Structure 1
């Protein structure tokens, strides 16, 4: 049986804790893009959460080394943890770009991207809660919803970049914002990639 050993709780709880860390990082990202007036402070806070995520991943690796029979295949646990780490890395990377690209003014598209990522992060957390409970139908439903949000991210990227070229006044700003918009669309891709991994895991055990 799956999920019936004492050490199972550690793995699922830690993976879920990582998703809560992501939820917090995306929440701070949303606060940041409201004005970008305190982007350095927000970059530092999100960097701390990214480092915390690395610590969670290290704990999982340590426990895998000490666990004879983990609740999921080792490669599945590693894949889930690795993709979770990718999500947080991408959020942190986008936040850092506001600082070193000296982006001082927000845009409606940055806020829309942040709202989109907030929905993805909350759904991701729900998916990992469902994984421990073996609620596989819930995971499938969430995967579809995240796929729809990823499609929305694609639309936002195309529209935002198109708008940049409508009236290109500041070429340097155009280049910087184009990179950030494309990077933000890439964050939504990482959520979808993670759910693809989770669905493949679920198919083994459902």
Structure 2
């Protein structure tokens, strides 16, 4: 099923998608928002990453439509691409909500969420690199780590919601922060979906 000569072009494209997601996540974590003016720059940059992700996925779909043979099931390739695209879409939605609310307060809970999301996208890149080198069984440990990070985000969501209702009296701010926390948890869930897809690929091809 696999050629040992060089990286299959489909795996190379999946890696480009994964690296774009990873770069966007690192940017989101590292960018320092100190004022409302910073949010616009932040949102524009992440929109650019999201747009690039859409182009990469579209290119991969075009390749799939033109190719008779694929290294693994074409549905697996497509699902992997789309699940990774969900992650970058979620990160872009997070930035757009900050802009919509003019919310420049990045609190500890948001930083914790983003830390685990970055770790998850690091693991996604590692797993896709292993896929490209046909080391399927080695991908499993990265899927396990991603799912563990998602569980950590579940805990952050519960604790952050509890603290939000304790400390905050303004109902508008409660709505805003609650929405942001839930968006970040959604991104962690999207990463978990990628991990589940990785596990499916392993089971069907190892």
Q: What is the TM-score normalised by the length of structure 1?
A: 0.94
Aligned ranges 1:72-91 → 2 under 5 Å: 72-91=72-91
What is the DSSP-based 3-state SS (H/G/I as helix, E as strand, rest coil) of the residue aligned with 2:8? helix
CA 5–185 in structure 1, closer or farther in 2 if over 3 Å, else same: same
Aligned ranges 1:40-55 → 2 under 5 Å: 40-55=40-55
2:33–2:104: 8 Å Cα contact kept in structure 1?
A: no
Residue 141 of structure 1 pairs with residue 134 of structure 2? no
Residue 99 of structure 1 pairs with residue 108 of structure 2? no
Q: 1:133 deviation in Å?
A: 1.5
1:3–1:132: 8 Å Cα contact kept in structure 2?
A: no
Q: 1:110 deviation in Å?
A: 1.0
Computed over aligned residues only, the root mean square deviation of the Cα atoms, in angstroms, reads 1.6
Moved over 2 A (4+): 3-6, 31-37
1:33–1:110: 8 Å Cα contact kept in structure 2?
A: no
1:127–1:139: 8 Å Cα contact kept in structure 2?
A: yes
Deviations along 1:143-182, one digit per CA (max 9) or x if unpaired, are 1111110000000111111100113322111110001101
Correspondence for 2:196: 196
What is the DSSP-based 3-state SS (H/G/I as helix, E as strand, rest coil) of the residue aligned with 1:106? coil
Correspondence for 1:11: 10
Q: Distance in 1 between matches of 2:197 and 2:16?
A: 18
Correspondence for 1:21: 20
Correspondence for 1:152: 152
Correspondence for 1:60: 60
Q: What is the TM-score normalised by the length of structure 2?
A: 0.94
Q: 1:74 deviation in Å?
A: 1.3
1:14–1:56: 8 Å Cα contact kept in structure 2?
A: yes
Note the residue ranges of structure 1 that are not aligned, 5 or more in a row.
Answer: none
How many residue pairs align between the two structures?
Answer: 205
Note the residue ranges of structure 2 that are not aligned, 5 or more in a row.
Answer: none
Q: Distance in 2 between matches of 1:83 and 1:100?
A: 25
Q: Distance in 2 between matches of 1:90 and 1:74?
A: 25
CA 143–46 in structure 1, closer or farther in 2 if over 3 Å, else same: same
Residue 116 of structure 1 pairs with residue 132 of structure 2? no
